[in-house]
Amino acid sequence: MMWSQAIVKGELTRIGEGSWSGDTFKASAIEIGGQSIQGVRVARCLLDCMETGKEMELLICSAHIYGVRVDGKTCKEGALRQLGWALLVAVALGWLFLPLALASLMFVRRAYAIYMFQGNAD
């Protein structure tokens, strides 16, 4: 689950009930394109871009939505935060045992996915 990454396309049919933690909403389920995604988190700025009944694409990395593409507009967030986590993990774990610093690549991979999530027309 830690390395999972997907772009899910389809019509957003439902955003389930959930709870807020700061500016992050944890939905019980999000239904898009005939799929039900359970326990996914989404930032308020991205949730504002999501409207039921519209065709969209969601960039999902490890149960977090980091990008939304709808009506030709791309909204994304979190790339800089992922790079910050990569630096923190590399410094915190790298001095203990150099191969542990490679765990930071998980955050670099997410940051790259967020950065590359562009508004390309299909």
Specify the DSSP element, H or E, that contains 82.
Answer: helix 79-94
Give the whole-angstrom CA distance, residue 82 versus residue 110.
Answer: 7
Assess whether pLDDT exceeds 50 at residue 10: yes
Q: The whole model's pTM is what? A: 0.75
Structure tokens at 31: 């239904």
Model confidence pLDDT, tens digit, residues 70-89: 988 998 887 777 778 788 88
Model confidence pLDDT, tens digit, residues 95-119: 777 777 777 877 888 888 888 887 5
Better pLDDT: 16 or 108: 16
Model confidence pLDDT, tens digit, residues 34-64: 999 999 999 998 999 999 999 999 999 888 8
